[in-house]
Structure 1
């Protein structure tokens, strides 16, 4: 008996896998290419499919950056860490800068909320405890000036 269904062509299979990944969450073009390459698909086929998805508006680095920034800010990460993670995912510096600037996040309020959630309401008096909190905030991606401003402001209060 002859099957009524043709075997999927490589282009169709790559596109199907790409759409499966995009259905779960936004991806950058580079990130999607890496995931498809890891599944053993041909480089040229992947490139063609990614170009097609971008042209159709199904894959967008702009949308990915917006969603990624919102997600990371809501998880308590600062601008330096967000920038670094986006660069690792193949996003250009101009696009990152534009979206981080556009976001107009209230970083001082964010840094205070992150510190308070982890360590409680009051700032410590001891240097060792302050240093611990500063290291934590730095790990989370907040800049040294932002961190120092938080502790200076609290010293004045």
Structure 2
């Protein structure tokens, strides 16, 4: 009988722990969308048990409150508006723990003119005048590569001059 009392106390403590994890996760999700892996990493820094974190995250996914696909869509749109190219966005999504399929779907579904974004990023950084010499042109092309634009998008920027 004494063992049952310990089991119920342990069960109550575990439920309280999961409730605390859920509250912390909901606080983070209220600020912005998170990928599951990203949220798991943030919660694990608070010394919660791994099994409890996994159970809470599973429940959040089941409740529709946590979605890697929704995170990917929000992230693609946000980064694209800031002048980041699709290649870098894909790499950042992968680093956040989003699988390639969800990243590809999010990048395909966003209606965004990547070539125009590359041109705007170049102009914002270097001004409206196109480069007159090859070294300056190469420098600007490397800048756009680092921003995550592919060779076709970069070529479109410099072919319009």
Instruction: Note whether the superposition's TM-score is higher than 0.5.
Output: yes
- TM-score normalised by structure 1 residue count: 0.90
- TM-score normalised by structure 2 residue count: 0.87
Give 2:49's aligned residue.
42
- Partners of 1:108 and 1:144 in 2: CA distance: 10
RMSD over aligned Cα atoms: 1.5
Mapping 1:23-62, distance limit 5 Å: 23-62=30-69
Give 1:3's aligned residue.
none
Q: Is 2:120 aligned against 1:113?
A: yes
- Partners of 2:47 and 2:91 in 1: CA distance: 28
1:53 Cα shift? Answer: 0.6
Give 1:81's aligned residue.
88
- Partners of 1:13 and 1:80 in 2: CA distance: 37
- Partners of 2:135 and 2:123 in 1: CA distance: 17
Q: Deviations over 1:100-120 (max 9, x none)?
A: 111132111111111111111
Mapping 1:124-135, distance limit 5 Å: 124-135=131-142
Q: Deviations over 1:20-47 (max 9, x none)?
A: 1111110011110010011111000000
- Partners of 2:96 and 2:46 in 1: CA distance: 18
Alignment gaps of 5+ in structure 2: 1-11
1:18 to 25, 31, 56: 25
- Partners of 2:108 and 2:66 in 1: CA distance: 23
Give 1:97's aligned residue.
104
Moved over 6 A (4+): none
Name the count of aligned residue pairs: 149
- Partners of 1:84 and 1:70 in 2: CA distance: 15
